[in-house]
Chains A and B, each alone.
Chain A
Amino acid sequence: MDDMYREIILDHYKNPSYKGELDPCDLSFEDENPLCGDQLKIYLRVNEEGIVTDARFNGHGCAISQAAADLVVESIIGKNVEDLKKMTKEDVLDLLGFNDLGPVRLKCALLSLKVLKGGIYGVKDAEE
Chain B
Amino acid sequence: MAIVNILQDFPILNQVNKDGKRLCFLDSAATSQKPETVIESMNHYYRTMNANIHRGIYQIAEQATEAYEKSREKIQEFIHAGSSREIIFTRNTTESINLVANTWGKQNLKKGDLIILSEMEHHANLIPWQILASDKGISLEFIPVQENGQLNLSEYQRLLNLQPKLVCVSGMSNVLGTVPPVKQMAVDAHKAGALFLVDGAQMIPHRKVDVQDIDADFFAFSAHKMLGPTGIGALYGKEALLESMPPFLGGGDMISKVFLRSFTTNELPYKFEAGTPSIAEAIGFGAAIDYLNQIGMDAIWQHEVEITKYAIQELQKVPGLKIVGPTDGVRGSAVSFTLDYAHPHDVAQILDSEYICVRAGHHCAMPLHTRFSVPATTRASFYLYNTLDEVDRLKTGLEKVYHFFG
Give chain A's interface residues, CB within 8 Å of chain B.
1-2, 4-5, 10, 14, 34-39, 60-64, 105, 108
Interface presence of B405 (CB below 8 A): yes
Taking CB atoms, residues of chain A closer than 8 Å to B361 are 35-37
B362: chain A residues at CB < 8 Å are 35, 37
10 closest Cβ pairs, A-B complex: A37-B375, A1-B353, A62-B345, A62-B343, A37-B376, A63-B346, A62-B346, A5-B404, A37-B362, A36-B345
| 5 interchain pairs, CB-CB under 8 A | A35-B361, A35-B362, A36-B375, A60-B343, A62-B343
- In the complex where A1-B353, A10-B404 touch, is A37 in contact with B346 (Cβ < 8 A)? no
Find B375's partner among A1, A2, A39 (CB 8 Å cutoff).
Answer: A39
B343 & A1 in contact (Cβ 8 Å cutoff): no
Report whether B376 and A1 are in contact in the complex, using a CB–CB cutoff of 8 Å: no
Which chain B residues lie closer than 8 Å to A4 at the CB level?
A: 349
User: Any chain A CB within 8 A of the CB of B352?
Assistant: yes
Residue of B nearest to A10 (CB): B404
Chain B residues whose CB sits within 8 angstroms of the CB of A39 once the complex forms: 375
Residues of chain A with a CB closer than 8 A to B360's CB: 36
Number of contacts between A and B (CB, 8 Å)?
47
**B159 interface residue per 8 A CB criterion:** no
Q: Are A36 and B366 in contact (CB under 8 A)?
A: no
Q: Kindly list chain A residues whose C-beta atoms are within 8 Å of the C-beta of B124.
A: none
Q: Which residues of A contact B345 (CB under 8 A)?
A: 36, 61-64, 105, 108
Shortest distance in angstroms between A70's beta carbon and chain B's nearest beta carbon? 15
Chain B residues with Cβ under 8 A from A38's Cβ? 375
Residues in B neighbouring A61, C-beta threshold 8 A = 343, 345
* A34 and B364 alpha carbons, distance in the complex (Å): 11
Cα-based distance from A63 to B374 in the complex (angstroms): 17
* Residue pair A2, B376 in contact (C-beta under 8 Å): no
Q: How far does the alpha carbon of A2 sit from the alpha carbon of B361 in the complex, in Å? A: 22
Size class of the B contact interface (CB-based, 8 Å): 10 to 19
Q: Does B165 contact A (CB under 8 A)?
A: no
Task: Pick the residue among A2, A37, A64 that contacts B369 (CB under 8 A).
Answer: A37
Q: Is B61 an interface residue (CB 8 A)?
A: no
Chain A residues in 8 Å Cβ range of B312: none
Q: From residue 305 to 364 of chain B, which have CB atoms closer than 8 A to chain A?
A: 342-346, 349-350, 352-353, 360-362
With both chains docked as a complex, state the minimum distance between the C-beta of A14 and any C-beta of chain B, in angstroms. 8
Among B352, B369, B375, residue most surrounded by chain A Cβ atoms (within 10 Å):
B375
Residues of B within 8 A of A35 (CB): 361-362
Within B347-397, which residues are at the interface with A (CB < 8 Å)? 349-350, 352-353, 360-362, 366, 369, 374-376
Give chain A residues whose Cβ lies under 8 Å from the Cβ of B375: 36-39, 60
Please give, as numbers and ranges, the residues of chain B lying within 8 Å of A63 by CB-CB distance.
342-343, 345-346, 405
Chain A residues within an 8 Å CB radius of B404: 5, 10
A39 to B, closest residue via Cβ: B375
Please indicate which of the listed interface residues A5, A38, A64 has the most CB atoms of chain B within 10 Å of its own CB. Answer: A5
Docked pose: A5 CA to B353 CA in angstroms: 11
Residue of B nearest to A66 (CB): B343
Q: How far is the CB of B195 from chain A (nearest CB, A)?
A: 32
A60 vs B352: C-alpha distance when bound (angstroms)? 22
* Cα–Cα, bound, A35→B362 (Å): 7
Chain A residues whose CB sits within 8 angstroms of the CB of B349 once the complex forms: 1, 4-5, 105
Contacts A5-B404, A61-B343, A63-B405 given; does A36 touch B376 at CB 8 Å: yes
Query: Nearest chain B CB to A39's CB is how many angstroms away?
Result: 7
Q: What residues of A have a CB within 8 angstroms of the CB of B343 in the complex?
A: 60-63
Q: Does A1 lie within 8 Å of B352, measured CB to CB?
A: yes
**Chain B nearest Cβ from A61, distance in angstroms:** 6
Nearest residue (CB) in B for A32 is: B375
Taken together as a complex, chains A and B put the C-alpha atoms of A104 and B78 apart, in Å, by 38
Residues of B within 8 A of A34 (CB): 366
Contact partners of B344 in chain A: CB under 8 A:
62
Known: A34-B366, A63-B346. 11 other contacts (CB 8 A): A1-B349, A1-B352, A4-B349, A5-B346, A14-B405, A36-B345, A37-B361, A37-B362, A37-B376, A39-B375, A61-B343
> What separation, in Å, do the CA atoms of A62 and B360 have in the docked complex?
11
- Please give, as numbers and ranges, the residues of chain B lying within 8 Å of A105 by CB-CB distance: 345, 349
Closest to A5 in B: B404
- B342's nearest neighbour on chain A, judged by CB, is A63
> Which residue of the partner chain B has the closest CB to A107?
B345
A61 to B353, CA, bound (A): 20
Residue from B345, B375, B405 having most chain A Cβ neighbours under 10 A: B345
Residue of B nearest to A61 (CB): B343
Q: What is the chain A residue whose CB lies nearest that of B353?
A: A1
B35-77 residues at the A interface, CB under 8 angstroms: none
Q: Give complex CA distance A126, B343 in Å.
A: 24
